[in-house]
Structure 1
Amino acid sequence: MAIGATIHTFEVQLADVDRGVYEEFSLRAARHPSETEAFMVTRVLAYCLEYEEGIAFGAGGISSTEEPAVLVRDLTGSVTAWIEIGAPEAQRLHFGSKLADRVAVYTHRDPAKLLASWEGKTIHRAEDIVLRSFDQGFIDGAVAALARRNAVSVSVTEGQLYLELGDAVLNTPIHEHRAG
């Protein structure tokens, strides 16, 4: 953890009907000084939406070149899911796609611009990479409700995300785009 990182805690109630995942867990997220709150909220949402045994935040956070922001390891330690946040370079996706069985990107930015930035670049199994985004203003609404200690309810049903964070109640469709 970098000097000056701000720790946020989340008590999460997750009900992902679409995947059949129902869990309650505590999550600590260190926000590096160079990381925006929007990036961190997107990172926490990606963790929740990808939740499964072996999930963890990447060791280096946003400054790591060796690991993504979120990853899943199996019992042998092999990376099975490489999950990027924001606007990763095509080269990182290429690397992650060669290393892991599955790659996903969650962005709080314009997905069309991100997809355009990958066009014509070499990305291993690009057609299998899923880019997920949210309605404009959704992440900003979550950032406005963010505190150092947070009670969070995340529900997903039929591709719709419902988020209760503090006093805020937000919802958005989870938009899926393909990289290839």
Structure 2
Amino acid sequence: MALKSTIYKADLNISDMDRGYYADHSLTIARHPSETDERMMIRVLAFALNASERLAFGKGISDTEEPDLWEKDYTDAISLWIEVGQPDDRRLLKACGRSEKVIVYSYSHASDVWWKQMNSRLDRAKNLCVRNIDSNISQELALLAERTMQLQCTIQDGQVWLSGGDRSVQVDLETWKDF
């Protein structure tokens, strides 16, 4: 019998002063049995950084044809495709062909090695952005994970803070490739 996803709930309050986006989102997050708290919280962070009324979690790990998050327009065309981790170049180039914009949030201690291998292969992808989160920060984010979460994300002047309970994490994003 296959293991089922664990359901997490998050009430996420976003104050993004850089984009002028202020909203509350009630998220239902299906955590795949092979997914860690760290990866799940990077998905939540990616949601907060790109939040809109049409942004939704994809099937991610359990479906190779869907991203971790995506935003579709009213014609069902994909306007934003978001991957978490270290996807291979073929997957990213395919995503770039299917979507207006693609963003990767890499977070592992081996991310720099992955990016050195991918950089030249992905140079032609003009609609691709790659951002890295230091592995120490991603591990701190994992400590925010609870089955029911009350989270606050504040974004101002490129600085990002994600808070939950009595814990707050400042997230520094390093941009390796921009649109």
Tell me the TM-score normalized by structure 2.
0.91
Q: Distance in 2 between matches of 1:141 and 1:100?
A: 31
Aligned to 1:134: 133
Q: Distance in 1 between matches of 2:77 and 2:96?
A: 13
Aligned to 1:40: 40
Question: Is there any run of 5+ residues in structure 2 with no aligned partner, and where?
Answer: none
Q: Distance in 1 between matches of 2:13 and 2:119?
A: 38
Q: Distance in 1 between matches of 2:68 and 2:150?
A: 22
Paired residue secondary structure (2:10): strand
Change (3 A) 1:90 1:179: farther
Q: Distance in 1 between matches of 2:21 and 2:114?
A: 29
Matched, 1:108 2:94: no
Aligned to 1:87: 86
Q: Distance in 2 between matches of 1:160 and 1:84?
A: 21
Paired residue secondary structure (1:94): helix
Q: Distance in 2 between matches of 1:142 and 1:133?
A: 14
Aligned to 1:174: 173
Question: Is there any run of 5+ residues in structure 1 with no aligned partner, and where?
Answer: none
Post-superposition offset of 1:96: 0.5
Alignment of 1:1-180 (within 5 A): 3-58=3-58, 60-110=59-109, 111-121=111-121, 123=122, 125-178=124-177
Measured on the aligned residues, the alpha-carbon RMSD in Å equals: 1.9
Post-superposition offset of 1:136: 3.7
Change (3 A) 1:113 1:179: farther
Contact 1:12 / 1:152 at 8 angstroms: preserved in 2? yes
Q: Distance in 1 between matches of 2:172 and 2:119?
A: 25
Greater mean deviation of Cα atoms: 131-140 or 93-102: 131-140
Greater mean deviation of Cα atoms: 139-148 or 98-107: 139-148
Runs of 4+ with deviation above 3 angstroms: none
Post-superposition offset of 1:138: 1.5
Post-superposition offset of 1:32: 0.6
Contact 2:42 / 2:141 at 8 angstroms: preserved in 1? no
Aligned residue pairs, count:
177
Q: Distance in 1 between matches of 2:154 and 2:15?
A: 5
Tell me the TM-score normalized by structure 1.
0.90
Q: After superposition, what is the alpha-carbon deviation per residue over 1:110-151, rounded to whole angstroms, capped at 9, x for unaligned?
A: 442221131443x48424311112234222112123110000
Change (3 A) 1:83 1:128: same
Q: Distance in 2 between matches of 1:49 and 1:140?
A: 18
Same amino acid, percent of matched pairs: 32
Paired residue secondary structure (2:65): coil
Greater mean deviation of Cα atoms: 162-171 or 133-142: 133-142
